[in-house]
Amino acid sequence: QVKPVEAGGGSVQAGGSLRLSCAASGYTFSDYYCMAWFRQAPGKQREGVATVCSRTGNTNYADSVKGRFTITPDNAKPTAYLQMNSLKPEDTAMYYCATGPGTWHPTFNEYEYNYWGQGTQVTVSS
């Protein structure tokens, strides 16, 4: 059983930075999987933010975060980090880590991710 656990959320002023981590216990070093970050703001639908796959290192980013967010895998742990820079108030949301079988082109289709974490809150004040 794979269990993703998020950490690193918090409150920051606009323009600041945060780094989230997602540790996915249950994987081995040779497994092929993708790890993604989704977020959901109050009253809005959940949306994909960034995703990365273990063997290829291929990534995918939402247009709204390109150039500001970077997702980085550590296959040895296995963990995925989301470095968030130049944060904006509209980035405020609950951030969820999800993981599923590896694909060549990682997507934000939620049905491709079997395991989900509990979420970590990110709040950006203006």
Q: Is 29's pLDDT higher than 80?
A: no
Q: Is 11's pLDDT higher than 80?
A: yes
11 CB-side CA count, 13 A: 2
Phi (first) and psi of residue 37, to 5 degrees? -110, 130
- Chain mean pLDDT for the chain: 95
Question: What is the rounded CA–CA span in Å between residue 5 and residue 98?
Answer: 9
Q: What Å distances lie between residue 114 and 39, 56, 74, 94, CA to CA?
A: 16, 19, 20, 19
pLDDT in tens, 50-85: 999 988 999 999 999 999 999 999 888 889 999 999
Q: Is 35's pLDDT higher than 90?
A: yes
* 1-15 burial code (b ≥16 CB/10 A, e <16): eeebebebbeebeee
Torsion angle defined by CA atoms of residues 125, 47, 36 and 82, in that order, rounded to the nearest 10 degrees: -20
Provide the β-strand partners of residue 34: 53, 100
Question: What is the rounded CA–CA span in Å between residue 42 and residue 94?
Answer: 9
How large is the average pLDDT for residues 28-39? 90
